Chains A and B, each alone.
Chain A
Amino acid sequence: LAKTTQPISMDSYEGQEVNITCSHNNIATNDYITWYQQFPSQGPRFIIQGYKTKVTNEVASLFIPADRKSSTLSLPRVSLSDTAVYYCLVAMARDTGRRALTFGSGTRLQVQP
């Protein structure tokens, strides 16, 4: 069964770089990889999206290897306000030929002072 897997949790300190990896071994060919951030009692919020190689915006970078079977979200110099759950979202190819949008299991990032 195709899955997207992420580490359950990570701990960091303010000012450090944090890298969170998502494995998606059966990603659909033409779909993007998207990462979301979720705070308690809120809906997920878009962080970054990419198809291959590297994408950078004002809050994060996304690294995607050539085979696209994984992706790594990089948060530079985290602060306390980055404490949240981070999810990858990919479209997984199914045996039926359809694609199924699948969230990763989520990584709970705890940033300490």
Chain B
Amino acid sequence: DTAVSQTPKYLVTQMGNDKSIKCEQNLGHDTMYWYKQDSKKFLKIMFSYNNKELIINETVPNRFSPKSPDKAHLNLHINSLELGDSAVYFCASSRRGQETQYFGPGTRLLVL
């Protein structure tokens, strides 16, 4: 059973479009995260979220927004996609108060 899953695995789209990436975890964790990994393999946190608090990395453009329908899901919505948004996006989850994170397989986004 996949602990943290993401869909889609690949996403190719045009500039200006709006897209969403879905993330689900079946670990019963309270906190979920979104990371961006660029072409140089740098991993940067975008958001962390539990049922009480959303922490946003202030460098993330407001075109990006996380939405959590329930504790097991944290979806990433991206509006007005730009070329620079091309990257691999990873979802992760952890038990509240602990840093051990479990990562999904990643979504490879290519903006043309």
B105 engages A43 (CB within 8 Å): yes
Please judge, given known A-B contacts A103-B42, A103-B43, whether A42 and B57 are in contact too, CB under 8 Å. no
B2 to chain A, nearest CB (A): 11
B49 sits at the interface (CB 8 A): no
B100 engages A49 (CB within 8 Å): yes
B30 to chain A, nearest CB (A): 15
Residue on B with the closest CB to A41? B106
B104 sits at the interface (CB 8 A): yes
Interface residues on chain A, number (Cβ under 8 Å): 22
Describe A's contact surface by its main secondary structure. strand
CA distance A46 to B48 in the complex (A): 18
Interface flags for B66-87 (1: CB within 8 Å of A; 0: not) read: 0000000000000000000000
B48 to chain A, nearest CB (A): 7
Residue on A with the closest CB to B43? A103
Interface flags for A28-70 (1: CB within 8 Å of B; 0: not) read: 0001101010000111111001000000000000000000000
5 contacts between A and B (CB under 8 A): A32-B99, A36-B103, A49-B100, A91-B99, A106-B42
